[in-house]
Amino acid sequence: MKSALSAMFVLATACSTALAQPDAAPRAPGIESSGYVWNQPDPDKDAALAHRPDIEQGKIAYEICQGCHQSDGSGRADAIYPSLAGQHASVLIKQMMDVRAGRRDNPKMHPFVGEWVVSVEEVANIAAYLNQLPISLDNGKGSGNRLERGRELYENDCASCHGKNGEGNATEFYPLVAHQHYAYLYKEAVMIRDGERRNANPKMVIFIRDYSNEDLKAVSDYMSRLTLPAGTRQP
């Protein structure tokens, strides 16, 4: 019964891991660098975008994510984990690959989206799985105190890209913002305005450059309350 150690296992010793610190996230050039081009081609991102996704495999690969983003993709308002359910797959792929490459700084998430954890194909599968989940409607909202100001700002500066109803644009990699958690929208908006979200679109930075925190709160609150009319969801 007990045979000698098989050659297979001897070979496998070559694969033993001696990797870097778990928390060491890379830092790639972003909006602070001269010559920054938003959403420029990237081999991993482009391969994921080209992959024909498998939603069932995406559900399995998503297990790694659901300890924070929840099994229904609704995220957590209190922990500022964004809602992902129903988000455009292109947006999800771009953001995952930006975190992975260090264009978007997220040291908490980085160890869970590294290439040693999820393959390019799995990133695409996860994105497709999340995209077809129903959008969670009980997202966190703001105070509701300045919604009229929020609407004015949104319609003037945001709707041309993110859509009248906050539906975003899959082709353009513009995220769905309707039903997103207020706390997440506000936190990211501040970071984008202040140059701390290094994968931001410079066009957006120009739009909100002069926004006060109060205005960012008002527009984030307004966005968090947007709803998509039936039939407007893009596939």
Between 51 and 80, how does the x/- string for binding to another protein read (CB under 8 A)? ---------x--xxxxxx--x----x-xxx
Between 105 and 144, how does the x/- string for binding to another protein read (CB under 8 A)? --xxx-xx-x-xx---------------------------
Whether 96 and 113 have beta carbons less than 8 Å apart is answered as: yes
Is 1 among the residues that bind another protein (CB under 8 A)? yes
* Alpha-carbon dihedral sign for residues 185, 188, 194, 200: negative
Is 26 among the residues that bind another protein (CB under 8 A)? no
- Angle at the Cα of 233 from the Cα atoms of 82 and 63, rounded to 5 degrees: 40
Q: Which residue, 40 or 116, has its beta carbon nearer to another protein?
A: 116
- At 197, is the secondary structure helix, strand, or coil? coil
Is 202 among the residues that bind another protein (CB under 8 A)? no
Is 19 among the residues that bind another protein (CB under 8 A)? yes
Whether 202 and 172 have beta carbons less than 8 Å apart is answered as: no
The single-letter DSSP state of residue 204 is H
Q: Which residue, 31 or 80, has its beta carbon nearer to another protein?
A: 80
Is 7 among the residues that bind another protein (CB under 8 A)? no
Alpha helices in 107-231 (DSSP H): 120-131, 147-153, 159-162, 182-193, 202-208, 213-224
By the criterion CB under 8 A, which residues form the site for another protein?
Answer: 1-3, 5-6, 8-10, 12-13, 15-19, 22-23, 60, 63-68, 71, 76, 78-81, 107-109, 111-112, 114, 116-117
